[in-house]
Structure formats: structure tokens, C-alpha cells
Amino acid sequence: MSVVAAVPTVVPRRSAALVWAVAVSAYMAAVFHRSSLGVTGVDAAHRFDISASTLAIFTVAQLAVYAAMQVPVGVLLDRFGSRRLLITGGVLMVAGQLCFAVATDVGLAVAARVLVGLGDAMTFISVLRIVAFWFPGRRNPMLVQLTCTLGQFGAVLGAVPLVALLHRAGWTPAFLVAAALGATVLTMVVAAVRDTPHREHAAVPAPDLATVRRELAAAWAQPGTRLGLWTHFVTQFSGSVFALLWGYPFLVQGQGMSPTAAASLLTLMTLAGLLAGPLIAHLCARHPFRRSVLVFTVTAATAAIWAVVLAWPGRAPGWLLVVLVVVLAANGPGSAIGFDYARTFNPASRISSATGIVNVGGFAASIVLVLAVGVVLDLATPAGHAAPDLAAFRWAFAVQYILWALGAVQVLRYRNAARRHLADLARDAAPVTPLVPAHRLA
């Protein structure tokens, strides 16, 4: 499962730029489809007449499929190439939004979110492979970071514009427009995207299942991989769950904000993430031996701001909610440190396997939190109330502290294990004292 390739000869810049731009548009569309439920959760609960815990199943289905497909998609990508997977993923997401637009029962709605999650899982890694084949290796890091940053503009489209359309035109027209947007981007992919600039390099032999299992086992045995997994776990879930489902209901039903104001805060969160990403990437590059300090800083800041918001008497003031979403914006970039651990603790031959393992961490935590918040909201909502009150949301979001405690303990555990592993390797490899002490490498 490799997304690494070399560009054999000079590629026309305009051709490479066009293919990359269209591929990034596909990723933006995937982020838009992924986040479209986040600002429509309240309306979805009313449309399907469901409880908070049932609403959580929509997001859980989407996230579970996304997480489960990480390793299989890597194998499919090597066998079929980026173009076919981008087209297949686009078709699945458009179909999912069409089903969601016309769904009136929970079963079809859940199936729609499964289709969205399945198509979403095929998109980002396919775009990374486009970058690897169309651009020189020296430009890959910059273009990958730029791809991640530009893709998040899809969440901006999935906030204020979608809410305005939903409240002006209604549920079905809003999601039909979402499907039409996806179909437009899909047409662009069909017309412009090619796997590589050179036909003879388009096919890459896919590894057999025995090789896949062997690489996964080797990656899992590496303590640095598990350090990456728990890093992704502890840093990602709070911001992810807030953006994907429960943030909008918390702001509207718990804090009494208008739908437009709540959607604007989610947009601010996305924009702040665009700034936080390069900053955290710079700090990791500048201080590679202090990455775990950055992990604990992001986690502690998130837990601290939630403590202030949840303990605030009555509804939180606007400025405090702004601070909350700005801090949560660092969760996504902070979780990317886990992928950096996967890269630096594994050989190139199994980086994809290690990356897939790491990526499961944050999504597993998000699934647990989405379900837990939904269940607690149902239990804590006063009898006779149509929607949860602020007290119910306080109890529900307090569940996060259990996950933070578990994640922090595991990060410490595997950081120490990784340091011991590196110290053993350094001692076996050379009789001299290493220039960088092992305790500083993680």
C-alpha cells in the first residue's frame, strides 16, 4: 500500500497543476459531504423524529466505514490507481447525498451516511498519490500540506451556505444541491485527472494479502506506531465530534445561538485550523524531539477550555465560545503528529500500513464520543423537553475527560516504550554514545 512514486521525466507544469487542482477539488467536495451533517443535525432530528442517541448513529456509521476502509483502500489504490478511486468515491458520495435528500426513514438515512463515508475514505489518499506521481519529490511535502489546507474549505461550504440553503429551500432541495455540487466535481475528475503523466508508470503491482498482513503486523509491533495511534486518539476526537455532529446542537440548543451564528462559529473553527496546521507542522519540523510536548499542550489546552465553558454559570459569553472553537481548531493539526510518528519510526516499505493504523485511533475515539454524547443527552434531557438543555450538554461533553485520561496515559506509556526501543537499537548499532539521547526522540 504505497503512495510513493517518482516522476521519471519533466512534466509540463500546467498539466500537473491542472490535474492537482481538480484532484484537490475532489477532496474539498469530500470534506463538504463529510461535514454536511454537522450543521444539519438539529433539522435531521426533527425530520426523522429521532432521539439524540439515534442521531449519533448517522455519524457513527459514516466514521466507522471511513476508519474500517483505511487499509483496504490502500490496497485498492495500488491495484486500480487514483483516477478510478476518485471517480468511484465521487459516485458513492453523490449517491449518498441523493439518498439523504429523499430519505424519510432512519434506515435509508443511515445507508446514505455509509455511502458518504465509503466514498470519503477513497479520496484523500488518492489525491496524495496524484501528488507523488505528478510532482518532483522535493515538492511533495509542501503540496501535501497545501492539499490538506485547501481541502478544509469544503467544510466552509458545508457551514453557513448549507444552513442558509436548508432554512430557505428545505431539506430535500438543500441536499439535492449538495449532490449536484458533488456531481459537478465528479465530471471534472473524469475529464481532467490521470493517474500519472506517463502511461508506462500508471500500473503498480498490488501486494498480495500475505504481504499486507505481514506489513501490518510489523507496523503494529513498532512502539512508535502505537505512540502515533494514541497521539491521534487523544488529540483528534474533541474537535472532530464538535465539527461533525454535536457542536451545532450545543451552540443552538444549549447556548441559545441562532443557526447562522452557530454555523459562523464552525466556519471560524475551520479557518483557524487553516492557520494552526502550518504552525504545528513548523513546530514539529523545528523541534522534532519535542513532539510529545506539543501533543500534551494541544490536549491540555482543549481540556482546559472545555472546563471553563462547562463550568461557566449559565450560557457562555460569545468571546468564550470563540476561544473554544479556536482551541478546537488545533485538534486536527495536532492529530497529524501521529502520522509523523508513523513516518519516523517505520521504514518506507510499511509507512502506509503504519499510517492506516494511526488513522484508526482518532476515528475510534470519535465514534465512542459521538455515541456517548447522544446517550447522555437522552438520559439527561428533562422529561417532556423536546430538545436537550444546557445542563444535559454539560453532562454529555464531560464524558470527554475519560477519553483524555485514557489517551494521555497511553501516550506516556508508548512514548516510554518507543524511547526504550530506540535506546536498544542505538546500543546494538554502535558502541559510542548517540548524539541525540533516546529520551528526546519522542
Query: In Å, how far are 212, 214, 259, 341 from 350, measured between CA atoms?
Result: 9, 10, 45, 13
**pLDDT number for residue 287:** 82
Residue 168 to residues 44, 164, 258: CA-CA distances in angstroms? 16, 6, 15
Sequence spans of domains, the chain: 1-206, 210-442
The CATH code belonging to domain 1-206 is 1.20.1250.20
The count of other CB atoms within 10 Å of the CB of residue 187 is 11
Question: Residue 85's pLDDT is what?
Answer: 94
Which residue has cell 500534551?
Answer: 296
Give the per-residue pLDDT at 138.
Answer: 64
Task: Supply the pLDDT for residue 137.
Answer: 64
Q: What is the pLDDT of residue 11?
A: 62
Give the CA radius of gyration of the chain: 22
SS3 for the chain is CCCCCCCCCCCCHHHHHHHHHHHHHHHHHHHHHHHCCCCCHHHHHHHHCCCHHHHHHHHHHHHHHHHHCHHHHHHHHHHHCHHHHHHHHHHHHHHHHHHHHHCCCHHHHHHHHHHHHHHHHCCHHHHHHHHHHHCCHHHHHHHHHHHHHHHCHHHHHCCHHHHHHHHHHCHHHHHHHHHHHHHHHHHHHHHHCCCCCCHHHCCCCCCCHHHHHHHHHHHHHCHHHHHHHHHHHHHHHHHHHHHHHHHHHHHHHHCCCCHHHHHHHHHHHHHHHHHHHHHHHHHHHHCHHHHHHHHHHHHHHHHHHHHHHHHCCCCCCHHHHHHHHHHHCCHHHHHCHHHHHHHHHCCHHHHHHHHHHHHHHHHHHHHHHHHHHHHHHHHHCCCCCCCCCHHHHHHHHCCHHHHHHHHHHHHHHHHHHHHHHHHHHHHHHCCCCCCCCHHHCC
Residues 219, 139, 25: CA angle, nearest 5 degrees: 85
Query: How would you write the pLDDT of the chain (442 residues) with one tens digit per residue?
Result: 544 444 445 566 778 889 999 999 999 999 999 988 888 888 898 899 898 888 989 988 998 998 888 778 877 887 788 899 999 999 999 999 999 999 999 999 999 999 999 999 999 888 888 887 888 766 666 677 678 778 888 888 777 788 889 989 999 999 999 999 999 999 999 999 998 887 644 445 656 677 777 878 888 888 999 999 999 999 999 999 998 889 999 999 999 999 889 989 998 998 898 888 888 888 887 887 788 899 999 999 999 999 999 999 999 999 999 999 999 999 988 888 888 888 788 886 677 678 778 888 988 999 999 999 999 999 998 877 878 899 999 999 999 999 999 999 999 999 999 888 777 776 766 554 444 444 445 6
| Equal fold, 1-206 vs 210-442 | yes
For domain 210-442, the CATH superfamily is MFS general substrate transporter like domains (1.20.1250.20)
> Would you give the distance in Å from CA 412 to the centre of its chain?
23
- Do 217 and 76 form a contact (C-beta atoms < 8 A)? no
Q: Rounded to an integer, what is the distance from CA 313 to the centroid of its chain?
A: 33
Q: What is the pLDDT of residue 6?
A: 45
- Extract the C-alpha cell encoding 319: 468571546
CA 200 to CA 420: how far, in whole Å? 45
Measured CA to CA, the distance from residue 288 to residue 340 in angstroms comes to 9
Residues near 160 by Cβ (< 8 Å), separated by ≥ 6?
260, 263, 264, 267
